[in-house]
Amino acid sequence: MQIIPAIDIIDGKCVRLTQGDYSRKTIYNEQPLEVAKAFEAAGLERVHLVDLDGAKAGTVTNWKVLESIATHTSLVIDFGGGIKNEADLEIVFSSGAAIATIGSLAVKNETLFVEWLQKYGPDKFLLGADVKEEKIAIAGWLETTDIDMYAFIEKYIDYGIKQIFCTDVSKDGKLEGPSVTLYQNIITKYPHLHFIASGGVSSMADLQNLKKIGCAGAIVGKAIYENRITLQQLKTM
């Protein structure tokens, strides 16, 4: 199982939110590049970079942070937040992201997203399925829908999507443990999916549990920043 540390950006700084609430923000580092270099030095190969300003504004905002990390590290970067049109997508790819993370757009503009899957190839995208009680949540979790999570995932698997990460919004940033049962259900239903767990990881035991149920990857954020999990420990995964 691949460990994918998260770097969430507001005003060019590395932050974490609790349950997607912009008013519950903790700044961990003024220099995201330093954070990314520490991850690389620990032997991690990929990073999940989230433009929270972009998610809120509806347009890619912190692309310079992406460019900086892509230029000065060899990390594989998946980048999301505010990708709403092809101009945004081109900025993300030209700034050094290997993979574009798409969430809200896949809900609100299926036609456009399917066009991108056909034009760029499904391997260039990571589909984000943010979930609240098995319903899809969008717009940086500011909005919930009545879209069934399984129907959403299945539809995009049919369009060729191979990588999906799922965040249980009720768990994110609370360090209460991930939604193992929910993720196990998804993996059982779609065994060929490259499934990445996200949200709630608080310890190495949580990561071992996710590995045990067959997650291909796990996104880890606050647990690293608050030293619940050390970079040294991650080397043992």
**Residues 54-89: pLDDT tens digits?**
988 999 999 999 999 999 999 999 999 999 999 999
pLDDT > 90 in the chain, percent: 80
pLDDT > 70 in the chain, percent: 97
Residue pair 220/211 in contact by the 8 Å Cβ criterion: no
Q: In whole angstroms, what is the distance from residue 26 CA to residue 174 CA?
A: 13
pLDDT in tens, 188-223: 999 999 999 998 899 999 999 999 999 999 999 989
**For 102, how many CA atoms within 13 A lie in the half-sphere containing its CB?**
30
Residue pair 90/64 in contact by the 8 Å Cβ criterion: no
Q: Is the per-residue pLDDT at 140 higher than 60?
A: no
pTM of the full predicted structure? 0.93
CATH class of the structural domain 2-234: alpha beta
Give the pair of three-digit tokens for residue 45: 């190969």
Give the confidence band of 169 by pLDDT, cuts at 50, 70, 90: confident
Residue with tokens 């330093």: 34
Average pLDDT, rounded, for the chain: 93
- Name which residue leads in pLDDT, 152 or 139: 152
Q: Is the per-residue pLDDT at 172 higher than 70?
A: no
Q: What pLDDT is attached to residue 23?
A: 87
Q: In whole angstroms, what is the distance from residue 49 CA to residue 126 CA?
A: 12
Cα–Cα nearest to 10, from 47, 59, 70, 65 = 65
**For 137, how many CA atoms within 13 A lie in the half-sphere containing its CB?**
18
Residues assigned a catalytic role = 8, 130
